[in-house]
Every structure is written in C-alpha cells, then in structure tokens.
C-alpha cells in the first residue's frame, strides 16, 4: 500500500488519524528535497496522495503543492489545510490542490473529504470504479460508460481512457502515453496515440468527445471543461 505524504513533519494528529482510517500508511517530510528523495522505498511517484498543512506563512506549503503538481505523475489527491486568515492566499491557485480545509481541523470532515477524493480517483481501498463527470470506469470488469451508456472499447482504448481519467487535468505527451499505456517495450510511433484518441472520441460521442482534450504542440489530457 503506497503511503500518504504529510507536510510538515509535525502535522496535527487529526491528519494522521484520517489517513489511517482511509487504510493508508503515511510519511511526514520537512521539505521538498526530502519529499523527492527515495527514502524507505517511497518515491514521489509512489505517493498515494498528500495532505499539506500551512503554518503561519502559507508560502512554503504552496511551494510544496506546486512541486508535487509539477511531477510527471502529479500526486493526487492533494489536500491543503490552511487557517481562515490565509484563505485569500488561495485565490487563483486552485490548480495546486484538489480540496482544502480550514483549521481548526475536525477528523470526521477530513476523513470524509479524503475518502471522497480517493473514490473519485479510484484509489480508495477496495474501490473498483473511477467516476469523473458523466464517465464511469469499472476497474473490475474493464468497462467504461458515459451517462450509463457502455462504450464498446478495445483493450488499448480502455487502457488509454483509464490512464487519462486517472490523472484529470494532467497533460501527457504522445511519447509519455506510449510508454505509460502501451509499455516501454512498445516500438510503435506517436501516430498510434493519435489514432486511438480519434477512435476513443468517436466512441464517446460528439457530446462527450471533449473529455479527451488536445493541448496543441504538447499532447492530450482528460478534462470536464
């Protein structure tokens, strides 16, 4: 079971209790450098999620959020804890976290929000479904449906959609998608990705084709807007 990253090293007991109740271990770090280090077998790519607690100056906490978001595999879910006096500091920075809570913390609220994010990403212990907007992906039956309509997908179309939907908002180059979806030993060209994206959009239908978005000169991402 991948651990949750907690920042800073001395986080409130409510945070550790909520993570434990979600069925995950945790590791507390005191800096971005420490978070990126491979210590105890836990790498940034292996984090199950993160809870970042801002102190008197939220700049350090936001810097940690930014560092985790900039990774090739961004840490998700990422929950930020701030004081009411720092709510204004979050303006226009919503892309740095998935949800936020205001101190004083209540374990029941943190547990509920954490559980909701894990379910959304298909990371909850025992979770078999990824839900994002009109899309539902059943990880047990290898089926995807949009607004209840089951999609007739090939295995690789399913894997491509599952991978993108598991990282909403994250942009992936064609080369990264080839290595992460098809595998490092696949020698097909980038055109393979374009062909599968085109087929995937056709099967999603005109109304939902926008779920798989093109980022010009970069690659593709999954998004609801």
Confidence at residue 189, expressed as pLDDT on a 0 to 100 scale? 73
pLDDT digits (tens, 9 = 90+) for 36-77: 774 444 444 578 899 999 988 889 999 999 998 887 778 889
Tell me the residue range of the domain where 218 lies.
Answer: 129-222
pLDDT in tens, the chain (225 residues): 678 999 999 898 889 988 888 788 899 999 888 877 744 444 445 788 999 999 888 899 999 999 988 877 788 899 999 999 989 889 888 889 999 999 988 888 888 888 888 877 777 766 677 888 889 888 877 889 998 899 999 989 999 999 898 888 888 899 888 888 887 555 667 788 999 999 999 999 999 999 999 999 899 999 876
Q: Is the same domain home to 102 and 169? A: no
CA atoms within 13 A on the CB side of 128: 6
Q: Is the same domain home to 17 and 46? A: yes
d(CA 198, CA 196): 5
Confidence at residue 42, expressed as pLDDT on a 0 to 100 scale? 47
Domain-ending residue, one of 120, 139, 154? 120
Q: Are strands 212-215 and 219-222 parallel, antiparallel or unpaired?
A: antiparallel
d(CA 102, CA 122): 25
Beta bridge pairs of residue 78: 50
Q: Is the same domain home to 159 and 91? A: no
Domain-ending residue, one of 91, 120, 149? 120
In sign, the C-alpha dihedral spanning 160, 162, 165, 166 is negative
Q: Is the same domain home to 11 and 78? A: yes
Confidence at residue 225, expressed as pLDDT on a 0 to 100 scale? 66
Q: Is the same domain home to 110 and 181? A: no
Domain-ending residue, one of 120, 155, 182? 120
The total domain count for the chain is 2
Confidence at residue 41, expressed as pLDDT on a 0 to 100 scale? 44
């Amino acid at each position: 079971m991948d651990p949750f990253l907690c920042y800073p090293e001395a986080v409130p007991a409510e945070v550790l209790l909520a993570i434990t109740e979600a069925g995950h271990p945790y590791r507390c770090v005191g800096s971005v450098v420490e978070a990126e280090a491979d210590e105890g077998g836990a790498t940034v790519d292996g984090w199950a999620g993160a809870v970042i607690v801002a102190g008197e100056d939220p700049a350090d906490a936001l810097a940690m959020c930014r560092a985790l978001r900039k990774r090739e595999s961004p840490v998700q879910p990422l929950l930020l804890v701030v004081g009411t006096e720092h709510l204004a500091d979050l303006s226009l920075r919503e892309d740095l976290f998935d949800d936020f809570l205001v101190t004083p913390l209540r374990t029941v609220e943190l547990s509920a929000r954490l559980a909701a994010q894990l379910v959304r990403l298909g990371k909850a212990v025992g979770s078999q479904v990824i839900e994002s907007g009109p899309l539902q992906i059943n990880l047990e039956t290898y089926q995807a449906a949009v607004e209840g309509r089951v999609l007739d997908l090939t295995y690789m179309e399913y894997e491509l959609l599952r991978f993108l939907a598991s990282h909403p908002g994250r942009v992936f180059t064609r080369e990264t998608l080839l290595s992460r979806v098809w595998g490092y030993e696949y020698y097909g060209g980038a055109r393979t990705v374009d062909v599968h994206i085109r087929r995937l959009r056709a099967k999603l239908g005109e109304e939902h084709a926008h779920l798989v978005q093109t980022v010009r000169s970069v690659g593709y991402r999954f998004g609801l807007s």
